[in-house]
Amino acid sequence: MNKTLFGFRILCLGGFAVCGFAMAFALYMQHKGYEPCPMCIFQRVAMIAAGVVFLIGAIHNPKTTGRWVYAALADLAAIAGALIAARHVWLQNLPPDQVPACGPTLDYLMGVFPLSDVVVMILKGDGNCAKIDAAWMGISLPAWTMISFIALSIYASLMPVIAKFSSRHSRASDHASDGNPAV
């Protein structure tokens, strides 16, 4: 009987749960009056992308190579989110005289410019993104988001290894409990 505590499906569900919690927290903060800037919205998109990959990985529950594919896709989404969050943190730490001027809303940009231009403009940032609205333990929310993305990236990279080790450990203990030598 193959009972794995840390099988790939469980690990993917854990990643999905973290992404779901992050999105629930973001929506809670928005409900409390903290309107997301355009970079915050892009970070949400990256978090949702990572969550979707984790969820599909859990549903599919692939073996061997497929695990690495899902891990790489989740890792790419997390790295993209970390890079966007890093840019956001950088903007927040600019001296006041170097902060870019505030720009139009994301809705306006999407209605006027092609998507590729909007992405470039948003990643350049503006004064809306440089303002620190909330912090916890002296660390801004975009910095916490960056930390979360880095942790998700490491987690995604380690999932196939943990699942493989857990599976081997489980098979060895099953053989030992049957009285058969471990394979």
CATH number at residue 111: 1.20.1550.10
Domain count, the chain: 1
Domain enclosing residue 108, as ranges: 8-171
Has residue 54 been placed in a domain?
Answer: yes
Has residue 80 been placed in a domain?
Answer: yes
Q: Could you give the percent of the chain with pLDDT greater than 70?
A: 86
Has residue 3 been placed in a domain?
Answer: no
Q: Could you give the percent of the chain with pLDDT greater than 90?
A: 51
Long-range contacts, 136-144 (Cβ 8 Å, 24+): 140/89, 140/92, 141/29, 141/40, 142/39, 142/40, 142/43, 142/85, 142/88, 142/89, 142/92, 143/85, 143/89, 143/92
Has residue 137 been placed in a domain?
Answer: yes
Give me the pLDDT at residue 179, please: 54
Has residue 59 been placed in a domain?
Answer: yes
Give me the pLDDT at residue 183, please: 45
Give me the pLDDT at residue 67, please: 95
Q: What is the pLDDT confidence band of residue 181, given thresholds at 50, 70 and 90?
A: low
CA distances from 113 to 100, 154, 170 (A): 20, 35, 55
Please name the helix (run of DSSP H) or strand (run of DSSP E) that holds residue 32, with its range, or none: none
Report which of residues 166 and 160 the model is more confident about: 160
Has residue 139 been placed in a domain?
Answer: yes
Dist. CA 119–CA 37, nearest whole Å:
13
The sign of the torsion formed by the CA atoms of 14, 19, 20, 25 equals positive
Has residue 183 been placed in a domain?
Answer: no
Q: Say if residues 87 and 144 touch (Cβ distance below 8 Å).
A: no
Has residue 56 been placed in a domain?
Answer: yes
